[in-house]
Structure 1
Amino acid sequence: MNKPQLPDFLGNIHIVLTRTSHPANIGAAARAMKTMGLKRLTLVAPNLMATPMTVEPAPFDAGNPAAFSLPEESFILASGAADVLEQARIVATLPEALADTTLSCALTSRKRELTAPLQTPRESVPELLQAARAGQQVALVFGNETYGLSIEEVQHCNRLMTINGNPDYFSLNLAQAVQVVCYELFSQVDVPMDYLAAETHPATHQQINGLVNHLESLMNDVNFFNRRNGERIVRRMRSLFSRANTETEDIDILRGLFNTVKRRLKDDI
């Protein structure tokens, strides 16, 4: 079966990472996005830290955002989603990133003195998808790994979203949070999974009868029916294979086994 085509409206959904510090998180977030059919990534004023792999990260120049380039570490963690990073939009401020959006969700797990209702991804997604289907631009905004979104950044958004979790310990990595939200979006798009199902080749009645006759012959060869009701056993074998959704490959394997056993029996005589 052919793979289904992803709906075009997924291109109206943007993942916005603000002030991200770890190069690997950017790459892992891109991978999480592409896995769930999203490709529009925006980086706001990335503030990369030095890592063992990225010893001297490129500084971000707010006056010339286009000059910023991601390090190799980000592309390694992106795996097959390097194209998401290559096409990423890089801007200096969150208002610039959200300028063309209609709905923008701030991802936060902190208590805030804000009037907007706090919703889980599952609660928020229907509205986001409806807007995207209508051609509106939608953004999901994630903050810095250490501090999250500032109160000012949250105020630039018109929706609040949080990932519910253990109240005694809640510490999702940035890329993990992106994956959770992207998965919830994709799960509600209803892309069919029929293409993942293995092809089936159900055995015919004739094939099943041939198998049972073959088995019956082998049982006779080993004197299995001695002191047993042979007709009843054969009926049960036929019923077993008929209701077991037996496939032609199963038939081939079993009959191959029966032939091997019969040859061994003859060799031992």
Structure 2
Amino acid sequence: MLDRIRIVLVQTFHPGNIGASARAMKTMGLRDLVLVNPRSFPDAEATRLAAGASDLVEQARVTSSLDEAVKDCVQVVGASARLRAMPLPHYEEPDEMARSLVTNAATGPVALVFGRERSGLTNDEIRHCSHQVSIPADPEYGILNLSQAVQILAYETHRAWRQRQDSGFVYQQRQEDTPPTREQLEHFQAHLSRVMQQSGFLTQPHARTEQQLQALFARAEPSRKELSLLRGLLSAVEPKQS
């Protein structure tokens, strides 16, 4: 579904903003980038600021008009800081827009359109859109860099997608956060019990100390790395066999 969500940049003046926007897209799983009459492209600055998203810059399509960029889309949302005197549906909140965009992406390509750095989209370009969205900001200084605007709306879009039951999204799990197996937990508990007995910590055979400690570690949900650290600590204090 995310592959059907297109980011369209109209007449971008600074090529670095193309790269920064590509980077913002890739962090949110979006890959379809279309450039309408960019001032300078390809450009080394675009590739440099894309960092790890240079592949999106290399794959970006260039069109001569906004109509060409969005003619196959079932929904086209124009991002605009200014409300236009046009009877277009307007999303007051980006999250509302994102839910609609993701829903429509299930049926066909959709697009988020961003205008020029200084002047945004023209009235004629807005007419090629089916909806408008604005990013709420401080009225005294509501100025966002192009790539910042892309990042915000891309995040809201990704958030709306991952909250769907059919998204299948899972957060990336670092290796050190991997939960231990039942066997590893049982080895740890046996090691802990052995050390407590050998050290003289357990003096009452019927005390519930072991069960209470097992419950404590079960609530703590230690990772494999953390469990390994605890095993190392137990080995360090374990009485040495003569």
Q: TM-score range by the shorter chain?
A: 0.7 to 0.9
Q: Which residue matches 1:159?
A: 131
User: In 2, distance between residues paired with 1:20 and 1:158?
Assistant: 22
TM superposition score normalised by structure 2:
0.80
* Pairing 1:91-240 to 2, within 5 Å after superposition: 91-119=63-91, 120-134=93-107, 136-190=108-162, 191=167, 192-193=169-170, 196=173, 198-201=177-180, 202=182, 203-204=184-185, 207-218=188-199, 220=200, 230-231=203-204, 235-236=208-209, 238-240=211-213
User: In 2, distance between residues paired with 1:117 and 1:263?
Assistant: 74
Q: Does 1:244 align with 2:223?
A: no
Q: Does 1:30 align with 2:22?
A: yes
Moved more, 188-197 or 249-258: 249-258
Equivalenced residue count is 228
AA aligned to 1:131 is N
User: In 1, distance between residues paired with 2:73 and 2:227?
Assistant: 58
User: In 1, distance between residues paired with 2:231 and 2:64?
Assistant: 69
- Following superposition, the deviation at residue 23 of structure 1 comes to 1.3
Give the root-mean-square deviation of aligned CA atoms: 2.9
Task: Give deviations 1:192-215, integer Å, cap 9, x for gaps.
Answer: 216526332245456424413313
AA aligned to 2:75 is L
Aligned partner (choices 30, 36, 44) of residue 44 of structure 1 = 36
Asked if the contact 1:125–1:185 (Cα under 8 Å) also holds between the matched residues in 2, the reply is yes
- Following superposition, the deviation at residue 74 of structure 1 comes to 0.3
251 and 110 in structure 1: CA distance in 2 versus 1, 3 angstrom threshold = closer
AA aligned to 1:240 is L
Asked if the contact 1:33–1:179 (Cα under 8 Å) also holds between the matched residues in 2, the reply is yes
Asked if the contact 1:212–1:234 (Cα under 8 Å) also holds between the matched residues in 2, the reply is no
207 and 196 in structure 1: CA distance in 2 versus 1, 3 angstrom threshold = closer
Q: Which residue matches 1:6?
A: none
Asked if the contact 2:37–2:63 (Cα under 8 Å) also holds between the matched residues in 1, the reply is yes
Q: Which has the larger radius of gyration?
A: 1
Q: Secondary structure at the match of 1:243?
A: helix
Runs of 5+ consecutive residues of structure 2 not aligned to the other structure = none
TM superposition score normalised by structure 1:
0.73
User: In 2, distance between residues paired with 1:28 and 1:108?
Assistant: 19
- Following superposition, the deviation at residue 24 of structure 1 comes to 1.0
Q: Which residue matches 2:11?
A: 19
Task: Give deviations 1:115-149, integer Å, cap 9, x for gaps.
Answer: 22321221122322222211x22111101111111
Task: Give deviations 1:143-170, integer Å, cap 9, x for gaps.
Answer: 1111111222212211011112233322
User: In 2, distance between residues paired with 1:131 and 1:36?
Assistant: 18
- Following superposition, the deviation at residue 100 of structure 1 comes to 2.3
Asked if the contact 2:192–2:234 (Cα under 8 Å) also holds between the matched residues in 1, the reply is no
User: In 2, distance between residues paired with 1:167 and 1:122?
Assistant: 20
Asked if the contact 1:15–1:140 (Cα under 8 Å) also holds between the matched residues in 2, the reply is yes
Percentage of identical aligned residues? 35
Asked if the contact 1:105–1:159 (Cα under 8 Å) also holds between the matched residues in 2, the reply is yes
237 and 122 in structure 1: CA distance in 2 versus 1, 3 angstrom threshold = same
207 and 81 in structure 1: CA distance in 2 versus 1, 3 angstrom threshold = closer
Asked if the contact 1:208–1:242 (Cα under 8 Å) also holds between the matched residues in 2, the reply is no
Runs of 5+ consecutive residues of structure 1 not aligned to the other structure = 1-8, 48-57, 59-68
